[in-house]
Structure 1
Amino acid sequence: MLAKTYASAVYGVDASIVTIEASIVSGTKFFIVGLPDNAVRESIHRIESAFKHSKFHFPRQKVVVNLAPADTKKEGAAYDLPMALSVIHASGQRDLRSLEEYVIMGELSLDGVLRPVKGVLPIAIEARKRKFKGFILPKENASEASIVNNLDVIGVQTLQEAVEFLSGDKPIAPLVTDTRDIFQHEQNDYDADFADVQGQENIKRSLEIAAAGGHNVILIGPPGAGKTMLAKRLPSILPPLTLHEALETTKIHSVAGKLGTDASLIARRPFRSPHHTVSDVALVGGGGIPQPGEISLAHNGVLFLDELPEFKRSVLEVMRQPLEERTVTISRARISVDFPANFMLIASMNPSPSGEFYKADGSHPDSEMAVKRYLSRVSGPLLDRIDLHVEVTPVSFDQMTSEQKTESSAEIRARVIRAREIQLARYEEMPQVYCNAMMPSQKVKDICRINQAGKTLLKAAMEKLGLSARAYDRILKVSRTIADLAGEEAIQIEHLAEAIQYRSLDRDSWVG
């Protein structure tokens, strides 16, 4: 007898349907065909044990399970449940009459209990697109899949429960989630707030500019000056995620298996902070069947690289292309996938090997050569792609103990949102451009027009600092953002002057 059901495979952040066919004929042995990996091949042992504990018998005939299309690699243990159900139906043990109406995924433990799987959200989206009635999956994953409407999401805990549902013996109500309610309640829920930060007004200002224009920023200052504390508060002043962005972000985390059990929608902008020992593959993504890396997990959010010079040079260099293209392509012999990587980069570093600008007596603790060697760990082309270079100085005792109330993240965020609304209107006819940092180079001259006084100032700055053409574009984009925050139609000379001061690392040295 032949039985057919449907599962799914995830490549990149998109899913495709896999047809599972089970045929039982005279003979012996269990065969799985269709390019299965080792985890899929080992499913025979999990299925056999699960059958025994669930009061089903394992066929002692020739069983052939085909995973179609047969020319694409299948990996992971999530095919256990659909294969087991196909065998039960094909062997005539139970009449699973609605088997072909559902996409089915789940890993079996030896006693027939289902374990959660990853990549559920893109599978649910594909199931709805292909007009399946529903999606049967482990109960721990049901919340994640239920954010997709017009699809019956059936969470089951055991193989036995799945069989009873498909045979009509045990009705299970589909899980329904109010996505918009979750989205509205969680999108403004941040643990850290700028209201807790005393002093550092210039740093707050630079981060407000960065958030308003989507610009990358690097904080340079001695240990204990507050660089990490300030960086962690950046997501709290970014505009709230749209529902489309939230779904896109959740898909990436689902594919990477980072959502956890009983999770549904990511409603807050992600903040990723990998350790400086991170590898190239862990940062940009990769693997036999490519998985997203840290830059994709930070999509629509913030990637924080603390102590930037401590990262391996090769790790930093692989970020150059994603910073420009806002996507990363991972190519392998059999497959090539694109992962979105539209993130804000915020980095921090010490100004010198010792970590200090100057000693108390005004002298520099490190030689000029030592400082240059330290700064050279971060390449010029990478620094060119960072729009704002901000010097962070320690907070004084008077500032730390001040009782004066400081601006909250909500107040700063309101100004950021107003500036972003101006930019959304400006780039309305440009697809995939939402903020000034994404402005195409060919549009800079038209959108960032400056008067003769501004040109004179910018020329002097470029000659003195030795700025590249890319740095020139960055200065104009930042000045455009500063003008948007001020509600100005044209870029004024004071906006340009403020943007120029955020190019600290274009100087020859910190000494003097």
Structure 2
Amino acid sequence: MAVGRTHAVSLLGLRGAIVEIEADISANLPFFVLIGLPDAALGEAKDRVRAAATNSGCDLPPHKITVNLSPAALPKHGSGFDLGIALAILASAGTVDPASVDRVVHLGELGLDGRLRPIAGILPAVVGAQAAGFTTVMVPTGNAEEAALVPGVRVVAAASLLDAVIWHGGEFEPVPVEPILGHLPVAPEHDDQLDLADVIGSADSVEAMLAAAAGGHHVFLLGPPGAGKTMLAARLPGLLPALSPEDALEVSSLRSLAGLPVGSALPTRPPLESPHHTATAAALIGGGSGLIRPGAAARASHGVLFLDEAPEFPSSVLDALRQPLESGVISIHRANSVAHFPGAFQLVMAANPCPCGQYGARDSDCTCTPTARRRYLGRISGPLLDRIDIQLRVNRITSAQLRLADDTPRMSTAVARGRVLAAREAAAARLASTPWTLNSHVPGPWLRSARMRLAPSTTASIDRALERGGITMRGYDRVLRLGWTLADLDGRDIPGADHVGRALYLRKAMNS
């Protein structure tokens, strides 16, 4: 009997590597050997494959079966290799057309009754197959809509192993089966009913959200309960531009890899992730003992990561964000591999000013000692705060502000998004000859170079703050970036002293 060959995909982060599945049948006593560095779930595939083949009416040969997953040194995880293993064996036995099986990538887990179960990570796996030059992919029926989101790939949906065998030329009578479908509902996109016009009496906060959206800046909001911190954070995704097709595919791939439903269409709005303060580092950044899955920070790529009650998060969890905030990439290291996920998210942190939450509130008295207040906010490390461009104090609105709200025109999300788009286009035009597109991505040395250096009279305020130790050198550069964003929002070609002064205020207003 000839060696049967087909292909599957092994995922490491979002990168899919093609795995060649080889099956050999020798005239020895019945035995099933699976080699090629499988994990525990994959090692159990031999029992699932044998039972599924028997119950589908296409028994495996009663001889020694050796299945090799190549390259052997590549770690392989999960049950998504079941379908490929079964068809490689049946190709070796002559039950199906070996040439047909060899040119198709097969993904799917087998049930003992022969039906195919949906698996997580189908979307990045199909993207990996396409990148390797394959044009046809066979997936479980429950994954077909998700796989079809990848353009230029023919997706073959199979409800069972028998359906796959017949499609590859096996001479069997089709048996109708009820396909196994995913049962998780698809999460709705960001609610466009969350309008920026709902924000009352906080012009500085609205300006901060506009600047954050226009320049991709991170934000820290400090204020008592009920001041509107969560309201502001929830409206930031609505101010961001629509996702490009490439970014939308990446967002959906991250959801797929995390085991979350994707749906039949790519998203158009940026995601919003808001993990609870009890989240671990693995839940926030990503991890896992076997297949490395993305955390909330990775799933927030091209969108917003909102950490409410930030001081309640463990300090070690918050500090794990420092590396992706600088590099835009999340790297998770294991003994035998390194997984990389995109980390291009906007961070919004919100915090009460003290444990009781009332410090600085006009209408309440704080019961916390100065030591307790310092210890509470001290849970957010200085190096992490230094990476936040906008640090703003948010106060509760007064009854007078509430009464005046109906008579005061307020900016809607639609109008604000138009200003954000215009500011981003201006920044992109200015940065057209550079590797960057957003002001928040521009390094400080480039902004301080002879070509981009602002006049001393323009930067006088931040020069004094740097001399007095009010800001660090990193903070100086971040104020410059924010000043350029404010100029873009105002339609100015170059920041003036007022833009730099406002940028310094938005960075230091938390302490005012």
Distance in 2, Cα, partners of 1:451 & 1:367 = 44
**1:216-275 Cα distance to aligned partner (Å, 9 max, x none):** 001111111111121011000011111222222222222222234x44423221111111
* Distance change >3 Å, CA 305–CA 19, structure 1 → 2: same
**Aligned partners of 2:149 and 2:264 also within 8 Å:** no
After superposition, the Cα gap between the structure-2 partners of 1:492 and 1:69, relative to the gap in structure 1 and judged at 3 Å, is same
Give the Cα separation in 1 of the matches to 2:38 and 2:265: 29
SS of aligned partner of 2:18: strand
Q: Does 1:416 align with 2:420?
A: yes
The separation in 2 between residues aligned to 1:256 and 1:188, in whole angstroms, is 19
Shift of 1:159: 1.1
Deviation at 1:187, TM superposition (A): 8.5
Of the structure 1 ranges 129-138 and 409-418, higher mean CA displacement relative to structure 2 is found in 129-138
**Using a 3 Å threshold, how does the CA distance of structure 1 residues 102 and 400 change in structure 2: closer, same or farther?**
farther
Aligned residue number for residue 475 of structure 1: 479
Asked whether the 8 Å contact 1:449–1:491 carries over to 2, the reply is no
Supply the distance in 2 between the matched residues of 1:112 and 1:201 (Cα, whole angstroms).
62
Does the Cα contact within 8 Å between 1:24 and 1:90 map onto a contact in 2?
A: yes
Q: 1:428 aligns with which of 420, 428, 432?
A: 432
Distance 2:271 2:295 in 1: 13
The aligned counterpart of 1:228 is 230
Structure 1 window deviating more from structure 2 (307-316 vs 128-137): it is: 128-137
Distance 1:375 1:129 in 2: 47
Contact 1:96 1:167 in 2 (8 A): no
Distance 1:131 1:328, change over 3 A: closer
What CA distance in whole angstroms lies between the structure 2 residues aligned with 1:301 and 1:417? 15
Q: CA deviation at 1:158?
A: 1.1
C-alpha distance after superposition, 1:116-175 (max 9, x if no partner): 11222232223233332400001121222212222211111111111111117799xxxx
SS at 1:487's partner residue? Answer: coil
Aligned to 1:23: 24
Partner of residue 284, structure 2: 283
Segments of 5+ residues of structure 2 without an aligned counterpart are 175-187
Residues 449 and 490, structure 1, Cα contact 8 Å, conserved in 2 = no
Contiguous gaps of at least 5 residues in structure 1:
172-185
Structure-2 separation of matches of 1:110 and 1:397:
66
What's 1:451 paired with? 455
Q: Which amino acid aligns with 1:233?
A: R
- For structure 1, which segment, 85-94 or 445-454, has the greater mean C-alpha deviation from structure 2 after superposition? 445-454
- Match status 1:491 vs 2:503: no
Q: Deviations over 1:23-51 (max 9, x none)?
A: 11122211111111111111122222222
Question: For the residues of structure 2 that align with 1:55 and 1:469, how far apart are their CA atoms?
Answer: 71
Correspondence for 1:357: 359
| Counterpart position of 2:181 | none
Provide the aligned length of Structure 1 versus Structure 2: 492
Secondary structure of the residue aligned to 1:470 is: helix
Report the alpha carbon displacement of residue 427 of structure 1 after superposing the two structures with TM: 1.6
After superposition, residues 237-316 of structure 1 pair within 5 angstroms as 237-260=239-262, 262-288=263-289, 289-316=291-318
Pick which of 204-213 and 194-203 moved more.
Answer: 194-203
SS of 1:314's equivalent in the other structure is helix
SS of the aligned residue for 1:406 comes to: coil
Look up the match of 1:113.
115
Aligned-pair CA distance for 1:210: 0.8
Alignment-mate amino acid for residue 6 of structure 2: T
The two structures have a TM-score, normalised by structure 2, of 0.90
1:80 alignment partner in structure 2: 82
CA distance in 1, matches of 2:353, 2:342: 32
Q: Which residue of 1 aligns with 2:440?
A: 437
Post-superposition CA distance 1:437-491 (Å, at most 9, x none): 1011211214764333333322333455621111111111111111111111221
Which residue does 2:10 correspond to in 1? 9
1:346 paired to 2:348: yes
State the Cα distance separating 1:421 from its structure 2 match: 0.5
CA contact (8 A) 2:222 2:510 kept: no
Q: CA RMSD in A?
A: 2.4
Change (3 A) 1:33 1:364: closer
